[in-house]
Amino acid sequence: MEATRIAAVGGAGPLILPRGEHALSRRDIDPDALKILFRLQRLGFTAYLTGGAVRDMLLGRKPKDFDIATNARPNQIRKYFSNAFIIGRRFRLAHIRFRGGKVVEVATFRSDPPPPEVGKAGSASAPLYVFGTPEQDAMRRDITVNALFYDPATASVIDYVGGVADLRQGRIRVIGDACERFREDPVRIWRVIRYAARLGFAVDGEIAAAIRAQRELLGGCSEARLYEEFSKDLLGANARAVFALHREFGILRLLLGRIGEALEGDGRLFAASLTLLAIADAEKEAGRAPGLDELVALLLWPWAEPQLGTGGPDPFPLLKKAFLDAGMVVSLPKGLRAQVIDIMALAGRLLRALGDGNMRWSVRQRPGYAQASRLCFMITQGRVPEEGESFELLFQKAFPGRPPMGGGRPRRRRRRPALPD
């Protein structure tokens, strides 16, 4: 059977790509997600796999999660699935939870909310979202390759937006008018960059121009959302490519204030960040995902190092102040920020110790030491330590005559002066 367009009233209808004409195999779908899909369909609902799962499987990649779109309403989903929990304030959707922490997101097809009526914007009764048809649901999504549906009953891919062609041609296209869609939700600017970089796809000239014209809008997004996107980029695949493209589009200075300016302004500094992120990307691929604290430290280290200067007795307050003065728009939660500062300040100390042989091993008790010693290893060796390797061994090799770890007179701890947050 050949790919067909199903004629619909008033339009050409979607492109249907039947089994055998795409690379998506039902075997690659998470069995729990597949069970939910079949159960919904048996109950008489329409239910498709959608979003990143369809995109990634069509490209022969392993999806991160499996999202489902259906015409069942949230309360119906809760009725039929005892492990379903309704979440979300703006859009209510169901999370179906499984043992081991797995969650399958099931969202009802919806359409973009109509533009607010003049004079009524923000009125309490204005609907935040409206349920819609599969076509409307595809149209409200961000980019074409994220708006494909997979119907498990027929094993076919359903494409209302030209996403199949864009996947084949390696192209990122915004659905609808890019300027308008970015104005509606500036986070889409970020998402275009993320998926172009992650997938190695091209951003066409018009969209690139729209990004440059409207990137400042990102500064107006909620801090929580920006932090969420920032952590997704660091934790996700191909962070090196993603941050490289953020820099090309001038996004880093918008998000990271002076830190971003330094990284964008100095190619050598930024190349060092990218080298460290590439090491972490390889770790992720090998299934040893580094923590978010370590990943932030990898990105920011080349900026932090010169801030530490000669270190002084206590580099922590110095770094904290530089951090607070940077004017970052992405605001890290306090605990994470403190941990990142600890890691970078400690890494500075360890690097100095590798140079001058003055090592105070009591720093091993400090929070962030494990990450700092790994960071140090990465900076000096260009890779993560393997089994049996460590910062301690690097030090002992460099200074074989020094007292062994834990040696030396115990020192009294100095209190760090408190700084305002």
Amino acid letter, residue 403? P
Asked whether the beta carbons of 145 and 167 are under 8 A apart, the reply is: yes
187 binds, among Mg ion, ligand ATP, none (CB under 5 to 8 A by kind): ligand ATP
185 touches ligand ATP (CB under 6 A): yes
The Cα 393–Cα 382 span in angstroms is 16
| Buried-state track 193-208, b at ≥16 Cβ within 10 A, e below 16 | bbbbbbbebebbeebb
- Quote the crossing angle between the two packed helices 267-285 and 292-308, to the nearest 10°: 160
- The nearer residue to ligand ATP, 141 or 247, going by C-beta atoms, is 141
* CA dist., res. 121 & res. 52, Å (int): 32
CB of 418: closest distance to ligand ATP in angstroms? 39
- Hey, how many other C-beta atoms are within 10 angstroms of the C-beta on 286? 9
Partners of residue 108 on adjacent β-strands: 70
Supply the minimum distance, in Å, between the C-beta of residue 204 and ligand ATP.
18
Q: According to the binding rule CB under 6 A, does residue 300 interact with ligand ATP?
A: no
Q: From the CB of 67, what's the least distance to Mg ion, in Å? A: 6
Residue 350: DSSP 8-state: H
Q: Which is nearer to Mg ion, 52 or 385 (CB)?
A: 52
Write out the residues near Mg ion by the rule CB under 5 A: 52, 65
Binding residue for ligand ATP (CB under 6 A) from 58, 104, 172, 187?
187
Question: Which of Mg ion, ligand ATP, none sits in contact with 221, Cβ below 5 to 8 A by type?
Answer: none
Beta bridge partners, 6, equal: none
Task: Kindly identify the residues of this chain, within the stretch 318-377, that bind ligand ATP according to CB under 6 A.
Answer: none
Show which residues are catalytic: 65, 67, 142
Looking at the Cβ atoms of 146 and 371, the one nearer to ligand ATP is: 146
* DSSP string computed for 279-319: HHHHHHHTT-PPPHHHHHHHHHHHHHHHHHTT--S-HHHHH
Per-residue tokens: 103? 């969650």
Q: Which is nearer to ligand ATP, 191 or 352 (CB)?
A: 191
Judged by CB under 6 A, how many residues of this single chain contact ligand ATP? 13
- ∠ CA 260-266-269, nearest 5°, is 85
Residue 257 in contact with ligand ATP, rule: CB under 6 A: no
Which residues ranging from 2 to 61 are in contact with ligand ATP (CB under 6 A)? 51-52
CB of 334 to ligand ATP, least distance (A): 25
- The interface with ligand ATP within residues 137-166 (CB under 6 A) comprises 141-142, 146-147
